[in-house]
Amino acid sequence: MRKLQTNAAGTFIVTIPKEWAKGLTLHKGELVQVELEENDIVISPTKTNQISQSKPLNIEDFKDQKILELCITASYIQGNDITEIVSKSKIDPDQKRWVRKAVDGLIGVEIAEDFANRLVLQNLIDPSKFQLNELLEKFAETSKAVVQDAIRALAVADLSLAQDAYERGEQSIKVYRLLMRLALQAAKSKNIRQQMKLQDISNVIIKIIAIRELGRMAYYAMRIAQHVGEIENKPDDQIVSIIQKLTKISVEMQASSLAALMKKDLATASSLVDRMVQVRKLYESVYPLISKQNERSALSLSLIIRDLRAFAGYAVALADDAVLGVFEM
């Protein structure tokens, strides 16, 4: 709590804690920006130097590779520029390999320091160099291409194309993590929002939700490619034809929902719900045909159509986000 005071001219004055000024590297005489946002008075530094954030992780707390990887990824997404892995004695070589594998899954991160008892991971990405909306659109295009190439591979029994699509799908997960990191940084910093040409905090929050939906679509796109790669022989033409129709509708739904989000198009967003009816009908029509295939092919084909339906379902969820965007404050 701070008490408002006045000077001789009657202007209101409020002080800020010395620790805040020090943390923001503010000095006496420097200019700050003062704005009124709804019922809040916001004071921001005018200089845009990025404050590095750090996160220490004690290796003794992690006996499981997956948990360690998740924590390193979470530190990255939360916007930490430095993640330090430390040990009271030494870090086991296997644990170092775990850390390196986690780093491989993060764009812009490298191991800056490597000692027996300490690893320092450093992020080299400047968020001000990215436009969140452009990156989000490119991310959506990637998952769309993965799905389309996977189904093309199914139609011609091209396992190498399916493998290529799967590997591109794996790489897209890295972009998802980068998108989440950038969006959370924008939510925390007004300067970053301005540099990314984002309107306000409510717009960023909707973008974060939308990134989650697109991330789910990218995941299912990758899995579709994986399941196509498990099918050695080309399925019946009738099955392939229905799956191609299902794919066409699903990727069109993704494109329409993203366009509705970007353009704040309520009519397009609301129309996506009706298209989900088409998806369900195609799903139900192809399922009995798939059940007549050999056991291995039937399983893989069932997973493909299930994942396509899920892909379309998240397109509807993205359309819901578009509706929120229309009515954001």
pLDDT digits (tens, 9 = 90+) for 49-95: 555 678 899 999 988 999 999 999 999 999 999 999 999 999 999 99
Mean pLDDT to the nearest integer, 141-170: 97
Tell me what pLDDT residue 27 has: 77
CATH number for the segment(s) 128-326 = 1.20.58.220
Which pLDDT score, from 0 to 100, does residue 189 have?
Answer: 86
Q: What is the DSSP letter of 9?
A: T
Question: Average pLDDT for residues 314-323, to the nearest whole number?
Answer: 94
**β-bridge pairing 54-58 and 32-37:** unpaired
Q: Where are the domains of the chain?
A: 5-45, 54-125, 128-326
- pLDDT class for 19, splitting at 50, 70, 90? confident
pTM of this structure = 0.84
- 193 contacts: CB under 8 Å, gap ≥ 6: 186, 199, 200, 201, 204
Retrieve residue 239's tokens. Answer: 């099955």
The predicted-structure confidence for 180-223, as pLDDT tens digits, reads as follows 999 999 998 888 888 888 878 888 999 999 999 999 999 999 99
Please state, rounded to an integer, the average pLDDT across all residues of the chain: 90
The CATH code of the domain at 54-125 is 3.30.110.20
Q: Band of the pLDDT at 12, cuts 50, 70, 90?
A: confident
Of 140, 129, 256, 257, the residue nearest 197 (C-alpha): 129
